Amino acid sequence: MFSSRYWKFFFEETGNIARFAGRLFSQWGKPRYEIAEFFRQCYIIGYKSLPLVTLTTFIMGLVLTMQIRPFLVDYGVESQLPAMVGIAIVREIGPVITALIFAGKIGSSIGAELGSMKVTEQIDAMEVSGTNPFKYLVVTRVLAATFMLPLLAILGDVVALYGAYLGVNMSGVTSFELFWAKVFKYLSFSDVLPAFVKSFFFGFAVGIVGCYKGYYSKKGTEGVGQSANSAVVLSSVLIFIIDLIAVQITDVLNLN
C-alpha cells in the first residue's frame, strides 16, 4: 500500500517527535521557570480561542439535535432527545470537535509562529540573550495547550448543550429545567471523567506537534507555511488516534 520510503518517513517522524517530547519532559521541571510566559500563552491559547470554540460548539449542538430528532420521532422516543444528545456531546463530540477546532487555530499558529522565528533567527537571538529558547517557547506553549484545551472542552460541552436546548425547542416546547434534568439523568461521572482526561492528551498533542513542526521548520517562507499546515494535519490525526486509544481504555476499565 505504501512504499518503504513512506514507512521510513513515518518512523523517523514518530521517533523525532518522541525525542522532542522527551526533551520537554526533561526540561519542564528544571529552573528557570517561565511563569510569566506560561500565563501569557494561556491567555493567547485559551482566552483568545473562546469565541471560535463557543460559536462552533453552539452550532454543532444545535445541528446535531435537529438531525437526530426525526429519527427519534419515528421510533416514538422523542422525549429521549436531550439524554441522547447530552451523552453524545459530553462523551465524544464536544471534546473531539473542540480539539479539532483547537488544532486548526492553535496548532497552525504555533507552527507558523515558531517557524517564522526560526527562519528569521529570532530563536538564535533568544539563545544568545541568556534564554533557553526551548523552555521559553516550547515548554510554555505545550503546557498552556495541555491545560487550556480541557477547560475549553468543558465550555464547549456547556455551549453545545445550550445549542441542543434551542434545537429541542425549535419543534416543540421543553422547559430549561426539564431539558437539563433529562441530560443529567443519563449522564454519569464515568461519562464526564474519560472525556475530560483525554482532553489533556489532545491539548498536549496539539502543543507538541505545533512546536515540533515550527521549531524544526526548514528555511524560507515556504517552510513556515509547511510547518503550519503539517502541524494541523498531524495533530488532527493524532487527536483521532488518541480518541481511539481512549475508548479502548475506557472499555477495559468498564467506564462505558
Q: What is the sign, positive or negative, of the torsion defined by CA atoms of 21, 23, 28, 33?
A: negative
Least CB distance to another protein at residue 126 (A): 8
How many helices (H) and strands (E) the chain has is answered by: 12, 0
Scored b (16 or more CB within 10 A) or e, 218-241 reads: eeeeebbbbbbebbbebbbebbee
Contact residues for another protein, defined by CB under 8 A: 113, 116-117, 120-122, 124-132
Give residue 138's identity as a one-letter amino acid code.
Answer: V
Residue number with CB closer to another protein (98 or 116): 116
Whose Cβ is closer to another protein: residue 13's or residue 37's? 37
- Give the Cα separation of 210 and 109 in Å (integer): 8
- What is the spatial distance between Cα 239 and Cα 26, in angstroms, rounded to a whole number? 24
What nine digits make up the cell of 247? 475508548
The minimum distance between CB 9 and another protein, in angstroms, equals: 19
Residue 191 has, within 13 A of its CA and on its CB side, a CA count of 20
Please state the closest distance from residue 43 (CB atom) to another protein, in A. 13
Q: Which is nearer to another protein, 120 or 188 (CB)?
A: 120
Q: Looking at beta carbons only, is 118 or 198 nearer to another protein?
A: 118
CB of 234 to another protein, least distance (A): 24
Q: At what angle do helices 108-119 and 189-215 cross, to 10 degrees?
A: 20
CB of 59 to another protein, least distance (A): 31
| CB nearer another protein, residue 123 or residue 232 | 123
Q: How far is the CB of 110 from another protein (least distance, A)?
A: 13
Q: Which is nearer to another protein, 132 or 190 (CB)?
A: 132
Q: How far is Cα 238 from Cα 209, in angstroms, rounded to an integer?
A: 9
Dihedral sign (CA 189, 191, 197, 199)? negative
